[in-house]
Amino acid sequence: MTVLGLWMLALLIILAGLIVLVIILVVRTYRRQATTGKEDLRGKIAVVKETLDPEGLVFYQGDLWTALSNSGRIESGEEVIITEVKGLKLLVMKKAKE
């Protein structure tokens, strides 16, 4: 083989490797479960803006949400954990003190 032939072979091997890598990354992306919408909110921390007794307002990532408390009355300023999403309402429970 000539030097030109060896360079072409090396380039072909590198290109094939890159194509395989791209295919693997695309397949991995499609297999991953989406983390947007309702699924993404569960387990996140929100801050109470209007006392929950049992309904009030919580603040999460720049948005005010109507929320229902599973833990009784929760005062304004306390942190809560989002447990479920029902329509446009969040079901929350009081975050345990650390």
pLDDT band at 34 (very low <50, low <70, confident <90, very high): low
Tokens of 22: 């791209």
The per-residue pLDDT for range 46-74, each reduced to its tens digit, is 999 999 999 999 999 999 999 999 888 99
Distances (CA, A) of 13 to 1, 8, 25, 27: 16, 9, 19, 21
pTM of the model: 0.62
Predicted pLDDT of residue 32: 82
Over residues 31-59, mean pLDDT: 86
Handedness of CA 85, 66, 77, 91 (dihedral sign): negative
Residue 40 near residue 58 (C-beta atoms within 8 A): no
In the DSSP assignment, the letter for residue 98 is: -
The hierarchical CATH code for the domain 38-94 is: 2.40.50.140
Tokens of 77: 């300023």
Distances (CA, A) of 9 to 16, 21, 23, 63, 96: 11, 18, 21, 56, 62
